[in-house]
Structure 1
Amino acid sequence: MATLAGWHVEMEFTEEGHRTSAAALLRLMDGSELRARGYAMRHPSDTDQLRVGEEIAGARALMDLASQLLDKAHTEIDAESGRHSYPLTQ
């Protein structure tokens, strides 16, 4: 089976105090780019586990990317078909 496309998501993390931020970038084959952000907050009484904050912030950024991809796909479907399509998330 041939690979039709490959996507690579770039993810960067920053931590400031109790807050971890994730910035995600996805470049699509049509030349468009989608950008998303996700955040995590550590309670002051929790132990310092940077990896956990990255996982939560990263997951939230990826969920935002997924939502943007669905919106983009449905916009393209609507433009081609002339009808309104409905994402499964609605």
Structure 2
Amino acid sequence: MLSSHDPENLYCVKKESPLLLGLGEGCNYVGSDINAFLEYTRKAIVLDEGEYVILGPNEYQVRSLKTGKKLKKNVLHIDWDVETSKKGGFLIIC
């Protein structure tokens, strides 16, 4: 969601569908799958049901939808590449 009250930030809610953040340098990303931003960053956060994120270009806050409290989330470091992810993570031997 974009708001005229906070035009610098994007608000995203995790409700029933996957929601991930990609943490880049000077730019952050949001998607339902790591592949959406894998070519731009190797750092990701997976949101759990009932969480939302306030996402700016250089910062983010993950919060509880129920309480509004700020949450600390683990950052995943992705070590596989785009081509591997397109193959479903399976090794292809020709």
Question: Is TM (by shorter chain) over 0.5?
Answer: no
Structure (1/2) with the larger helix percentage: 1
Which structure has the larger Rg over C-alpha atoms?
Answer: 1
Question: TM-score, with normalisation over the residues of structure 1?
Answer: 0.28
Question: TM-score, with normalisation over the residues of structure 2?
Answer: 0.28
